[in-house]
Each structure stands twice: as structure tokens, then as C-alpha cells.
Structure 1
Amino acid sequence: MKMQRSIMIAIAGMAATFFGCRQAEPVKDFEKFQYDYSIEQLHGEFSENMMAKARNDLNELNEANRTGKFRGTLESIDTHETPDWYLDAKLCIFYDWGPYSIAGYGEKGWSRARYPDWYLARMYHEYQDDHRLAWGEDFQRDDFLPLFTAENFNAREIVDLVKMSGARYIVPFNKHHDGFCLWDSKYTRRDAVDMFPGRDLTAELVEECEKAGIYHGFYFSVEEYEYPMIDEEDELYIRYWSSSLAPDNAGVVDEAGEIRGAFSGELHNRMLSGKIPVRDFIDEYIVPQAKDFIDRYDPDILWFDGEWHRPATYYKTPDIVAYFYNRAAGRKEVVSNDRLGIGTREAHGDFYTSETDEVVERMDDPWEENRSMSESYGYNHTDSLENYLSADELIQMLVRIVAKGGNLNLMVNPDGTGKIPQIQVDLLRELGSWLEINGEAIYGTRPYEKICDNTQLGQPVWYTMSKDSAYAYAIVFDWPRSETFICSGVNIVWETEVYLLGYDKPLQWVDTGRKSWGMSARIPEEMIGNPEARPCKHAWVLKFEYDKRNEFGN
């Protein structure tokens, strides 16, 4: 690792500063971070070589798309089929972690969620006063980088946690909007190998995923808050993602809405260290960087983000997706999300991505709910028990999402050292224990003819169905107050058996209606009034043979 690492010990204590404590004293005793190469030096020594590599990678990508099944258009990639493994998996761990996790703070904004993973932008805008109070008047973005130690990041333990939770795939935040890469990228020096912690964190995690048979994804922001660019006179300027992230004197310069601002070595060498200037942000940086990752780490999932200001044709995401598909053809089945450009969500890609606001109706197309166990996307010092889901709520959320045909992309938010909050570990353990008994009603299922209903006493019941339509599952959130499970939506083959998952004897049952089908199944005698005898906690599953031809219904 080629850099200066001399940082005063006093800086480590800053990571414990909580924004809830408004009277915190500014931290003054720290040494400013300075990378080995300034942005001006990177421009002079590395830009031309990197842009030449980019042209080569872009040519390779275009050639693969010219000769492969898929072309770099939305129409072409829309012909790709979402693989069964993704539809069957149902649960993912969304590993939201990066240098922003050091600050660990986010206020609630326009949605119900908080976004600590946006801190490295908001410290210069709406969080500016709080940032100065907690970290000091002159503490800049890149002064966080030496604190990104990853001392508690252990890829094997992470994969063990994924398996324990019952998740079948993981999507780590390989590059968020600040541009710091968790892999050894050849298109930047702003990565975990060239900077801190001096390790290829992605390679470590991919190796363990492949050993364990866990699908792994590539989260990749197609935008960055700021990026150093080269103009027609070979001078540097700053490209801003949007006007809200740019200073007042920056201006719109083209029809794509790119915002230009003046380059300041004094400021930007403390904000954008390691970013190598280019002339074309998309062709010489975004597209070749994504291709390089795909070539080196062979992900199973492409998970784009940051696309909402400009069209897919601008970001050339269809070209990246087509390359991803063509490269995987004949080897394995892969999947890409819908965040390709403005207007593409729920219209293109292999699955739709919902965020915080859970889909309320069954969707015919594949979809995924992205949700934290707390209110926060990224580690948040201010999270408390009050804003975390309970184990009941977490399991019920998974059931609701699966019943409506979706997957749950469940966020895990480690701190800057890589340590996962114990409450998240405990919740994942509870979830995994429940799935160990009831996973048959979750994995590999499809929506039933009815999403949900209530028992006669108003207790919620949700339904799923095996993908061959042979069996269906009634998932009861509240243990009955009576001695029976009453599920009015059950369409069952007459004189077949009903089972409570986790209990190996069939239950006695009768039909419950004259005008419509339903079922009343008797609770085993040993479980009446004895919670310890129940097969699990949180929710209970009745398995029945589905009358898919409705031969026995009215």
C-alpha cells in the first residue's frame, strides 16, 4: 500500500462520537490525510494510460455484445429470463458498508428511512454544522479513510452469518456513491487495496461465498457525488452528480444535465483522493470499471444504483448488462436489477427493486424489497431498540413479501471496523432458526391463489405455494386462542393430510364452509396451553395438498 499512514492516536476516539450528544467538543488533534499522489499528479502520470485501458476494455465489451446473444439495448436485455435460483432464493443479505460507516449518522428525510450511507456527501451540505461539531472544523471526507480499518471484517464469519440467517445470496456495497471501491480496481486508486485497509475485501468475500455455495452480487453506483475531469484545454474541473451536490457557482453544461464546477486542489485533494481524472465519465470510467469487476470477480447479480437523474442510454447500463449476460452464457445463470436509468424501475431488468415502502399487492413480475432491520441504510450510531424490528416483525415481513411474489433484500449495517451490531446478529439468528423449520413454506414457493385472509377471530393468515402447485402453506402469525387453526382460504384436496411444519404427525381437520372452502385443523393436544411444546416461535405453518383443479371446491 503506497501511502502515508501516520495518523495521531487521538483520531480513533472520534468514531465513538454520537450525534445525539449535541455538546460534543470538536476534535482538533488529527493529522490531515494525504495520499501519495495528488489529483494533479494522477492526471499527469496516470490519466492517459487509464483512458487507453478503458478504450481497450470498451472495445472488448462491444465486441462481446456484437457477437453474443444480447445487444446493449433495453429491448434486447428485456428478453433475458429471470433464473429460477433467484426466484427460489427469497432472502438476501444486503451488506451496506464503506468508509461512511465510520461517521455512522443519518437523519430521517423524505421517506421513513435514514441514510447514513449518504453521510460523505451530506457532511458538506445539510449535516455540515453537525459534522463540524462532532469531528472538527477542518475534518474533511478523506480524513475518514484511515479509520476504515476493517479490523473486524472476516469474510468467513460473514458467510457463516449469511448461512445462519437462511439467506441464499449476498450483495455487498462494492462501490457506493462516494466512489470508494471495496476491491482492487484498476480504474481508481481510491480503493481498499491502494488505500485502507490494504486488503481486497471483495476477493476475500467472493472466495468464501464460492466455497459455501452462496450467490454473490455486485452493487455498483453509476454515479458519484463528484469526479475530477479533464476539459478540452487539458485542465481539471469537477463533475457533479446533480445541482444539489454542486456549489452555487457551478452550471449545467450539456443536455445530459452534467454539472461542472472549478477544481480546487486544496479542497478536492482532501475529498477525492485517488480518483484518476478522465475526459469521459461513462466511457473511460463507469463502463470499463464495471466490466473489470465482472471479469475478475464473476458475480451472479448486478445491482445498479444512483441512476435516477439520467437515462440508461447515458449510463450505458444496457451495454454492461448485455456483456454480463453474454459472458455468463453457457456457464451459469445470472440476474440484473432494474435501476438502469431514469424511468427504468419496474419497466426493465430481471427484477423490480422496492425500497422501504413494501409492495402492497401481488406482483406478476419478480421483485425485491430492500429493507433494513432498523430505519437505517448503513450503520447509524443513533439506532436504538425503538426503531428496530422485533423478531416477530422481521419474520412477518419476510412472509408477506414472499406471499406477494417477492424476495427480501435484508440490510446488514456493520460499523467502520466491520463489526455487525449484536442486535442484528440476534435477529438474523432468530430468522434462521425459524426458516430451519419452516423454510419449505418460503424457499422455492410461488404466490398462492389468495395472498392473505384472517381467521374467524381476526388473526392474519398468509399463503404460499410450491412451484409445482402440489402443496400450499397457510402461515399463521398469531397462535390461536381456541384449540384450532381456522384458515378460510385453504383449497385442499379432500381426505388428504394436513401438517404443522416442525411436527411429524398429521393434524385432524374438517372443512369450514358451505359456500367456499376453508379448513379448521385441531392443535395437537400437547401444545394446548403449553407454548414450549410448539415447534417454533413467531409464526406457524400448515401444509396442505392444493386442490389446483378445484375438484373438491364449491
Structure 2
Amino acid sequence: MHKMNRRQRDFTVKCLGLVSCLIIVFFLFRYLTSAKSSELSDGYEYDNPFEVVDNTKKKQFDIKQHLQNVIDNPLEIKQHVKNIIQEVLPQQNEPTESSSIDSNRYSPNWEALDKRPLPKWFDEAKIGIFIHWGLFSVPSFGSEWFWWSWKGKEATHKIETKAFMKKNYRSNYTYADFAPDFTAEFFNATEWAEVFKNSGAKYVVLTAKHHEGYTNWPSAYSYSWNSLAIGPKKDLVGQLGAAVREKDLKFGLYHSLYEWFHPLYLRDKRNNFQTQDFVRAKAMPELYELVNVYKPDIIWSDGEWEAEDTYWNSTQFIAWLYNDSPVKDTVVTNDRWGKSVRCKHGGFLGCNDRYNPGILQKRKWENCMTIDKKSWGFRREANLKDYLTIEKLLLTMVETISCGGNILINIGPAHDGTISAVYLERLSQMGEWLKVNGEAIYFSVPWNFQNDHVNQHVWYTKRVIGDQASVYAIALKWPHNNKLQLAGPITGDITNVTMLGYNTPMKWTADPSGGIHIDIPFISYKDIPCKWAWVFKMTGLTNS
């Protein structure tokens, strides 16, 4: 038999490696293209999300070409498959009911999961920053629900969105054509983290994946439809997570369970969610991947409302998260895990967007709200009046925290990675206020009263350090004639009143019918501690 020389052997090995890669790519391609949009019959208009135009090169960009590029670099596909097998799949062993035998473990049912104590850091942190950033940031028109407004059935802003597309884009433009323009060219994770740190926030939540299905990390389950494959060519989740934690902030990830136009999800939906192909192939593997790779402090779930939690396998995932995940002792979850779950089950309750009940709640809750009154994503057409003033932002924060909630304040960066000046200004103003008054916010707990009965512009918090309890009256408007009347506090012999940032004790008198009258001395403009919302600290109250 003819004996091969070294060059022939090397050539044979390379050929075998190439054939192996081709086989892997073939099955990936078959999976991604198995369900065609022409087969859908639910009334939506669909694009092919895997065929886009690279506007920088003026040529077609599609998944076939991208996979061919991967073939040219066999090491990339080998590492890609290795990551799936070694890092993610072994971690997906779903817990069973037998886990209830161990009293330190949580069974996959809401009764058991709701008994898990909320990690202390979340209640102490109080303030977070929410970031809505994705392909919707490219058109930056209407809202982050741009695709739905353009293509969705019974969309509320369909006429305006279609007119916008007709005016600005060619007739055959698809949603996926926005992907190459999601450049993030000016994104600097360190600078973002510095902004968030200076805002006074203690945690940050980034949209890892919104309803469009595009992932801001190189997900093994969103091949060619992620921030490393097309668009920024960066791992946005990884970069921001590292920078945020460098500033000693907690890092959470928003993940949409459902996707607007994923064929497997739409097929499950047509089957009345009696099948779980999308959940098993996409939604749940992504969540396990996010947890194992990035170890988030918060899993902020969304997009759950069309199906029950049994379809999503929510309790199985959360039980694994609490029992066996690398963040089992520190992770926090919200309540968006099935259409009958919201505002009932989860680590904390969020109920609805901008949830702000104005009264004390029995369970820990969060008010996720946005500085732009009309959108969570960046809008180029927004006017200054569309954004919350700092006064309104502080009012919402104080109301929320007085009633036992956390506040998650949303901003929407632009497609190029810049944060608009109005967002930067609001965050800077908030940070300026918290530097003076953070004592009344962080580590605080609700007091006996949330809102004063006499002065509706005053909200209360309480903080206990050692044996001393301090009650904070946060006045959102400067007291008329420098006199502040409060009905809630009951004074005693050792009651002391100061204004945070102005340490001179203030004179006060007890109201015969209960309450206190505080006389505020004249304070010059240069000595006044802050520009908005003044905090009066009271110690030695008999009802503290």
C-alpha cells in the first residue's frame, strides 16, 4: 500500500475536519430554516430574519454566507459546539418533586419557591438602572415595540410606523436589515458603568434579549442573530457586566421568554401551547446559558403573557436557579413567568410596567419605570416634554421606596452606543441628590406612615442603626414660610430634628393634637444642601 507523506496526511486531516464542520453547519442550517414564514397563518407579516443587507458593504448578508465564513475557521465552530456541550447542556438537569426531601432545597412549585428568602442586597439597594438596547434602537421611532407596530396584527401605531418606513427605507426592507446598523461604535462599558455609579444606583439590568429575539451576547442558541455575529461584533452583555461589577454594582439581565417571529414559538402557539419546541430549543437553553456564563444577580423575565408557566417550564428553571446554579444564594427573580403568575409569585413582585401602588405592600416589589414617558427604547422624535423632570423622577422614587419598593429607572441608548444628554442629565441630578440624601434611601425600611396625613408632599422612610431609629420626612416641596407641619411623628423628651446636608439642629414644637411643627431657619442659597426634595431627619420619636 502506498505510504502517505506528511503533507498528504496533513491534507487528509484538514479535509476530515472540514467535512465534520460542514455536517455540523448543515444541521444548524436545517434547524434554523426548518419552519418557513410562508407556512404561518396567524395574521402577521413576517420577514426572513436571517437575510439582511449590510449597508456598509452594499451587498446581501444572509445566514448561508455567514455559515460559510464559519467553515473557513473550523476552530470557531469547534469552540462553539464545545461550549454548548461542556458549559451549558450538563447544567440543564431539571429538578424533580423529590427535591422536597431535602429541606434546604426548593421543589419546582410556587408554594415552595415563594418561601425562599429574598437576598438582603436587593432590598438594601433600592435603586437600579434599566437599559433597553437592541435592534429597535436603530429605527429609534415610536418605541422598542417597533417591529410589532410595523408588522404585528392589530398594532396600535401601525399607520405611523408604516409611513415612517415608507419615507425612510426601501420598499423591501426587512427588520433584520437593521442589524448591520446596530453598530455600538461609541459604546464604552467603563464610561457607562461610571455614569450608573455616579447616579447613585446600586444595580443595573440590561436587555440581554428583547421580543425581537436578537441576543446581546454570542448565544449558542441564536446563531447569526446576536451581537457578536452581526452588528456590534461585541459581547455586549459580557463587556457591560464586567464594567458594572468593577464599580461594585450588581448586574442583572432582562430576558424575553417569547419572540415575535420565531417559527418554533409561532408553531407552539398555533398548537395552543400543547407543544414546547420553542421552550426546549431556545427559551430555556438561553436562560441556562446566561446564568452559567454571566452569573447575573437578577433574572428579569418578560414576554410571558401569552402562555402559562407550565409551557415555559418556569418553576423547573427557578428551582434549578435556587438549588444548583452558580448564583443560587444571591440571585433575585421577578414575577413574569407565566400569564397567571404575574403579581402572585416570584422573588419580588413587579405586576405591571410603572407599577406604583402608593401604599405599603405585603411583599417586596419593584417599580420599573422609564424616564421617557412614551417608550423604553430610544426615540429620535422625542421632545423634551416627553421626559420626566428631575422633580417628577424624585417624586416617583420617594413614593416607591416609602411604600417598600425598589425603583428600576430605564434609559434607552442609541444604536451607536451613546446615551442622550437628557438621560445623562437626569442620572447626574439623581446622583447629586442621593449624595446628600442617600441616608434616607439605602438600607431604609417603611415607617408606620408612608405619606403624611396633613402634608401630602411629605413621604417617610425609616432606618435603624444599632439602638437608634431615625425617621426621615422627605419634603418634595419647600415648606411654606419655612414652617413644616407633620401629623405622623410623635415627639419625646430627646427628639432631635436636622436637615440632611445641613447639620444644625432645628427648632420644633409638639402639636397638642399630635404631630410636630418644624421651624426652618433662613438658609442662604450657597448653604442649602440640595435643589430638590429636602429630607428632615428625626430621632428620639416615641413612635419611631
* Residue 294, structure 1, aligned to residue 291, structure 2: yes
How far the C-alpha of 1:152 sits from its partner, in A, is 1.7
* Residue 139, structure 1, aligned to residue 133, structure 2: no
Deviation digits for residues 352-375 of structure 1 (CA, Å, limit 9, x no counterpart):
113125223221211111111121
Query: CA, structure 1 residues 159+218, in 2 after alignment: closer, same or farther (shift >3 Å)?
Result: same
Shifted more, 377-386 versus 463-472: the winner is 463-472
CA distance in 2, matches of 1:285, 1:330: 21
Indicate conservation of the 8 Å contact 1:501/1:542, yes or no. yes
How far the C-alpha of 1:452 sits from its partner, in A, is 0.9
516, 530, 535: which one pairs with 2:529? 535
How far the C-alpha of 1:255 sits from its partner, in A, is 3.5
CA distance in 2, matches of 1:424, 1:538: 18
CA distance in 1, matches of 2:447, 2:418: 39
Query: CA, structure 1 residues 361+209, in 2 after alignment: closer, same or farther (shift >3 Å)?
Result: same
Indicate conservation of the 8 Å contact 1:312/1:342, yes or no. yes
Query: CA, structure 1 residues 401+84, in 2 after alignment: closer, same or farther (shift >3 Å)?
Result: same
1:167 — aligned with what?
A: 201
Query: CA, structure 1 residues 485+219, in 2 after alignment: closer, same or farther (shift >3 Å)?
Result: same
Indicate conservation of the 8 Å contact 2:395/2:476, yes or no. yes
Deviation digits for residues 473-503 of structure 1 (CA, Å, limit 9, x no counterpart):
0011111221322222223443231110001
Query: CA, structure 1 residues 97+432, in 2 after alignment: closer, same or farther (shift >3 Å)?
Result: same
226, 238, 241: which one pairs with 1:203? 238
The letter of the residue matching 1:340 is: W
TM-score, normalised via structure 1 length: 0.78
SS at match of 1:352: coil
CA distance in 2, matches of 1:58, 1:414: 33
Report the aligned-residue RMSD.
Answer: 3.2
1:401 — aligned with what?
A: 400
The letter of the residue matching 1:60 is: Q
Query: CA, structure 1 residues 535+74, in 2 after alignment: closer, same or farther (shift >3 Å)?
Result: same
Indicate conservation of the 8 Å contact 2:495/2:540, yes or no. no
* Residue 62, structure 1, aligned to residue 93, structure 2: yes
CA distance in 1, matches of 2:525, 2:456: 18
Larger radius of gyration: 2
How far the C-alpha of 1:93 sits from its partner, in A, is 0.3
Query: CA, structure 1 residues 75+50, in 2 after alignment: closer, same or farther (shift >3 Å)?
Result: farther
1:303 — aligned with what?
A: 300
What's the % identity of the aligned pairs? 28
Indicate conservation of the 8 Å contact 1:95/1:413, yes or no. yes
The letter of the residue matching 1:123 is: W
CA distance in 1, matches of 2:362, 2:447: 12
TM-score, normalised via structure 2 length: 0.80
CA distance in 1, matches of 2:355, 2:517: 34
260, 272, 275: which one pairs with 1:255? 272
Deviation digits for residues 116-149 of structure 1 (CA, Å, limit 9, x no counterpart):
1111232224233432232221111111000010
How far the C-alpha of 1:467 sits from its partner, in A, is 5.0
The letter of the residue matching 1:98 is: G
2:483 — aligned with what?
A: 484
CA distance in 1, matches of 2:132, 2:302: 13
155, 158, 161: which one pairs with 2:189? 155
SS at match of 2:251: strand
178, 201, 223: which one pairs with 2:258? 223
The letter of the residue matching 1:475 is: I
Higher helix share: 2
Query: CA, structure 1 residues 465+241, in 2 after alignment: closer, same or farther (shift >3 Å)?
Result: farther
* Residue 181, structure 1, aligned to residue 215, structure 2: yes
1:35 — aligned with what?
A: 63
2:141 — aligned with what?
A: 105
1:373 — aligned with what?
A: 371
SS at match of 1:206: helix
The letter of the residue matching 1:536 is: C
Query: CA, structure 1 residues 345+330, in 2 after alignment: closer, same or farther (shift >3 Å)?
Result: closer
Deviation digits for residues 295-331 of structure 1 (CA, Å, limit 9, x no counterpart):
0100010100000111111101222222222235797
CA distance in 1, matches of 2:260, 2:52: 25
SS at match of 2:381: coil
How far the C-alpha of 1:76 sits from its partner, in A, is 2.3
147, 152, 155: which one pairs with 1:120? 147
Query: CA, structure 1 residues 241+463, in 2 after alignment: closer, same or farther (shift >3 Å)?
Result: farther
SS at match of 1:207: helix
CA distance in 2, matches of 1:373, 1:159: 18
CA distance in 1, matches of 2:268, 2:255: 15
Indicate conservation of the 8 Å contact 2:273/2:311, yes or no. yes
* Residue 545, structure 1, aligned to residue 539, structure 2: yes
* Residue 420, structure 1, aligned to residue 425, structure 2: no
Indicate conservation of the 8 Å contact 1:58/1:283, yes or no. no
CA distance in 2, matches of 1:313, 1:8: 42
Indicate conservation of the 8 Å contact 1:132/1:138, yes or no. no
SS at match of 2:138: helix
Counting matched residue pairs gives 472
2:315 — aligned with what?
A: 318
The letter of the residue matching 1:88 is: E
Query: CA, structure 1 residues 32+154, in 2 after alignment: closer, same or farther (shift >3 Å)?
Result: same
Deviation digits for residues 192-211 of structure 1 (CA, Å, limit 9, x no counterpart):
11222111111111111222
SS at match of 1:386: helix
1:511 — aligned with what?
A: 510
Structure 2 unaligned segments of length 5 or more: list them.
1-24, 26-49, 71-76, 153-157
Structure 1 unaligned segments of length 5 or more: list them.
12-29, 107-115, 230-237, 243-251, 259-278
Indicate conservation of the 8 Å contact 1:507/1:523, yes or no. yes
1:74 — aligned with what?
A: 110
CA distance in 2, matches of 1:58, 1:141: 31
Indicate conservation of the 8 Å contact 1:219/1:302, yes or no. yes
CA distance in 2, matches of 1:88, 1:52: 36
Indicate conservation of the 8 Å contact 1:493/1:545, yes or no. no
CA distance in 2, matches of 1:8, 1:284: 31
Mapping for residues 419-498 of structure 1, pairs under 5 Å: 419-453=418-452, 460-466=457-463, 470-498=469-497
SS at match of 1:369: strand
Indicate conservation of the 8 Å contact 2:54/2:177, yes or no. no
Kindly indicate whether structure 1 or structure 2 has the higher relative contact order, using CA contacts under 8 Å at least 6 residues apart: 1
CA distance in 2, matches of 1:335, 1:498: 37
SS at match of 1:288: helix
Shifted more, 412-421 versus 477-486: the winner is 477-486
Query: CA, structure 1 residues 549+496, in 2 after alignment: closer, same or farther (shift >3 Å)?
Result: closer
CA distance in 1, matches of 2:95, 2:313: 15
Indicate conservation of the 8 Å contact 2:52/2:176, yes or no. no
Indicate conservation of the 8 Å contact 1:351/1:368, yes or no. yes
SS at match of 1:239: helix
SS at match of 1:196: coil
How far the C-alpha of 1:453 sits from its partner, in A, is 2.1
Query: CA, structure 1 residues 377+257, in 2 after alignment: closer, same or farther (shift >3 Å)?
Result: farther
